[in-house]
Amino acid sequence: MTTIELKNGYYIEVDSLNYTLRQHYYGTTKDGEEREAFRTCGYFGDIRQAIKKYIILTQLDVLSEERLSLESYVKSIEQVNKIALQGLESVLSMFPVK
């Protein structure tokens, strides 16, 4: 299995059947203890679908607590997308579109 590392703990696992978008993060238990955890964000038929979901989740992660004007929101989305896509061009070229 191949793993593609992304930003903010996200990664894509590639196997013969699909592309699985996952996130590695640290959460807090009811006892206040910090624990390592993994979240499956979706199963996809091609790498482009997985990347689209990753971009949407990154936008939500960054902007979920923000209170912005529409213009500021659009600028923030553009900036988040730019950051999310950094370095992905070379990775995407390795995977053919099905």
pTM for the full predicted model: 0.69
State residue 39's pLDDT score: 94
Domain range for 47: 2-93
Residue 8 lies in a domain: yes
State residue 91's pLDDT score: 65
Residue 98 lies in a domain: no
Reduce the DSSP state of residue 37 to 3 states and report it.
strand
Tell me if 68 sits within 8 A of 75, measured CB to CB. Answer: no
pLDDT tens digits for range 54-77: 988 988 877 766 676 777 777 877
CA distance linking residue 13 with residue 17, whole number of Å: 11
State residue 15's pLDDT score: 92
State residue 50's pLDDT score: 92
Low-confidence ranges of the chain (pLDDT < 50): none
- Our count of domains for the chain comes to 1
**Full DSSP string of 48-84:** HHHHHHHHHHHHHHHHTT----HHHHHHHHHHHHHHH
Residue 61 lies in a domain: yes
State residue 29's pLDDT score: 82
Residue that the structure tokens 């979706």 belong to? 42
